[in-house]
Chain A
């Protein structure tokens, strides 16, 4: 049957020949308890649960055809109701992003939005009631197809449930923005669509899906579909009435939207449009005019699909989901040696945090050493305390706590501690001679195969290994603070590091659940080098005369998690100064040491700001220390200068071979510095805004990689 919808989808399908197509199977069954003949649609892409069901244009066309069939049966009176569910463990996880990436024209993007709407909304216009059974993971368009149904049930076993569009740079555009607030109220809808998305794509648990009122009933996973169908039968026979609370369409609606804007401002600072577009539609949905809401969704989707932020968002998502799991340049996994015992040199705070991480993830003996028993006891004590905290929160049980505590020990004598260690990491004072001395001592007592890893943030791995008998087993293992939170691990290959050692390091990183990126032995590696160049340029313009406030505001449009000077405060001005000195020695032409920063550090100040008023204000004592020149730049000028510098630095790093590709730089900035998805890390933004071409003569990424294809 040829309809406008099927024509629209046919056209869209031609643009996406590689779609993994979802089938919409229609099967009939007798509802228990004499409920009558029922048509159940199963969404299934024919693959196992590791390849979740998605909606591309052909998949939508298949669902459309299934609805044709059941629509006819409903009209003829041969069925009493229609259900929709998914293959085992998966309901449906929404639009196929691969298809979205391919779209080049606004009209094609519009067609995708409209195509989805046209199919889904049919489910609310049939002659019999419709039911969605969220049996497994449901995201985006998967959640939305259910929202168009008359009733919904959810399995208590679902692994994921969310509307993650805003997280990626889209809006829930197949009905989500218009339907959800009309179902559960604006405030709850804002929590799901805006707040959860902007909180690292937080998922709803099944209980919340029910409590929020998205699902009318919740059943345990073991017989979810059976119980859903029994429930359906009771609803259809009128034995059971579904009660939904009245929606507050008064001031609460406006307040919810205002809250959403506040959340968006605090997360993306106006720099990414998706949340705001979603909020506009939620705001308008107050009228209850769904058709207008759907049209607004189509427009928003098309605009966002053709915009750079979404393309950057998808690019960033793929980096974190795919590239982080298969680090570029990592040697073959089979070369990795087993790690059954870990040694940690040092028992200070950093060393203790590392000990805790290795202990929790590897669950092998971890031995701390230090120069005196008191420090060792303190380090082991720290680990024990943290384990107890985990137990107190219910994250681990008593048996696991006992096991972990028994696994961590400390000894003064390295020979005793490291004689059978497979992996020894040092976290001692950042001084080359000290580190060389430590590694020499470890090499004398550790087995010949043991990896010697260093958590240095700035020293040369090659130099550190140079005096050892077996330099091939030295690896840089650079974590980011807080170690337990930030996913990035820069794995640094020294000149002589061999493949087996590197493979072992990557194997350990995987077990530590870190995103490992292979980095060449170059000053300050990746994140610290870029951040220092970035901050250094800000500091330079301040030193030259631009007011602090102007310099800070200049980079606000990026939507970074915090301003440069707040970040400096978090890192500590003294450490910031130290790193800038290190990089200044390596690259004196590009990295300066700010005399003002030095003065602030010397004065013992911990930052530039005071927070007496609740907001950051320049500390008068710091203001008094600043000696500024008379070159005052505008925000625009500052931004250009700073971003040009960042682009130049990244180009130089790529030319030096610090990492394999710009993608690795972006992955590092996202996972190590928390730089946002809508920037795609940074290189998509630098390309998009023209900084890379101006500063380096060319773009970092080919057209279409993190942008609309040519």
Chain B
């Protein structure tokens, strides 16, 4: 049977506002599955031309697939969201790159012709499921010296990255973090973020956390507009005495969910669905787990090579800010100035938060909005580092591209 590889497009993406994990966070009494259900429902509400029965797959990522993030979330959240029972689903895990992997996995299926339309997204409720919950690392990792013990603790791997690149100082990391907060605040002020958020009703019964009763989450809780270098300077370095990584120059522990619609371009056009980005290539790569933050470098090189592009062809970057040092390492590698206007225009995870397996789709949603606003840009990429020494990069083409006549 002759086959044609089909173009895959990013139709739309939404997310819940991100919350701070913990007893005072907005989502402390909200279930993880409910978060992702609200995102899926919003996606369908925003695209009324899509008959939900046309969805061929629901791929949802979560790092800790226990309790309200377990039970094959892709399937159960689909049912909870009101999708027809004929729509299947599954769960997926690549830690921080969970939602990104959900997108690339269903994109592969679309390209092959196995799916016409799929939902891909992720959720992480780090308050209900703290990092490391229920893990049982094989003792051979350490006994056989497969990895250093620090590889299991992301903050320590970030410190290791500072060691590897002595040129990336705490000062640079803090400066980067301040810029991220500034850009995020501006993006909010410009209304770039809110349009892709679904409000979530949140209940609070603990008066110590604030007003009790039902409330509504409409904005990202972790944001710290007005952050200054001075305010960051005094923060503790929890991963190492006199270290460089602080709560200020890293993403926090967060709760949130994302969902996107991925489709074959011809099907999207036929159904009159928006085409916000066209997939060009993607790649995942492995690095030493002790310096997982460098993962985006080989992943990006691979993805560029597969696309036949160079870094100079990329007009917009959405890089997940798990740690400032990790973004700086990548920028340094490619010779991009750390305040380059193409990079993280809306700020990043240092400001918005990083609910692990959900973040990949946040990058895409933001890149899609930037594409729409900047038709002179042809290519952009979304990239992130992944625990245990990995990186992932997806390169996208702007369907609004106007030939570069700025």
Contacts and interface: CB of A to CB of B under 8 A. Distances in A.
Given A27-B214, A28-B211, A44-B213, A226 B81 contact: no
Nearest to B38: A223
Contact of A29 (B37, B41, B81, B218): B218
A104 interface: no
Nearest to B82: A222
A85 B214 contact: yes
Contacts of A26: 211, 213
Interface string A302-314: 0000000000000
Given A27-B210, A226-B199, 11 more contacts: A27-B212, A27-B215, A30-B216, A32-B218, A42-B213, A85-B214, A222-B81, A223-B38, A223-B201, A226-B200, A229-B199
B80 interface: yes
Interface in A184-200: none
Contacts of A220: 82
Interface in B170-192: none
Contacts of A27: 204, 210-215
A613 to B, nearest CB: 56
A73 to B, nearest CB: 13
Contact of B38 (A32, A41, A46, A226): A226
A25 interface: yes
B225 to A, nearest CB: 16
A225 B38 contact: no
A588 interface: no
B203 interface: yes
Identify which of B38, B82, B203, B204 gathers the most chain A CB atoms within 10 Å of its CB.
B203
B198 interface: yes
Interface string B195-208: 00011110111000
A239 B101 CA distance: 40
Interface in A214-260: 220, 222-223, 225-226, 229-230
B259 to A, nearest CB: 13
20 contacts: A23-B212, A25-B212, A25-B213, A26-B211, A27-B210, A27-B213, A27-B214, A27-B215, A32-B216, A32-B218, A40-B215, A44-B205, A85-B214, A222-B81, A223-B37, A225-B201, A225-B214, A226-B198, A226-B201, A229-B199
Nearest to A88: B203
Interface string A414-452: 000000000000000000000000000000000000000
Contacts of B81: 222
Closest 6 CB pairs of A and B: A25-B213, A42-B213, A225-B201, A27-B211, A29-B216, A27-B213
A28 B212 CA distance: 9
Contact of A42 (B80, B212, B219): B212
Contacts of A40: 213-216
A31 B194 CA distance: 12
Interface string A87-114: 1100000000000000000000000000
Interface in B51-88: 80-82
Contacts of A46: 205
A27 B215 CA distance: 6
Contacts of A29: 215-216, 218
A42 B211 CA distance: 11
A186 to B, nearest CB: 35
B38 A229 contact: no
Interface in B28-61: 37-38, 41
Contacts of B213: 25-27, 40-42, 44
A518 B203 CA distance: 45
A32 B45 CA distance: 16
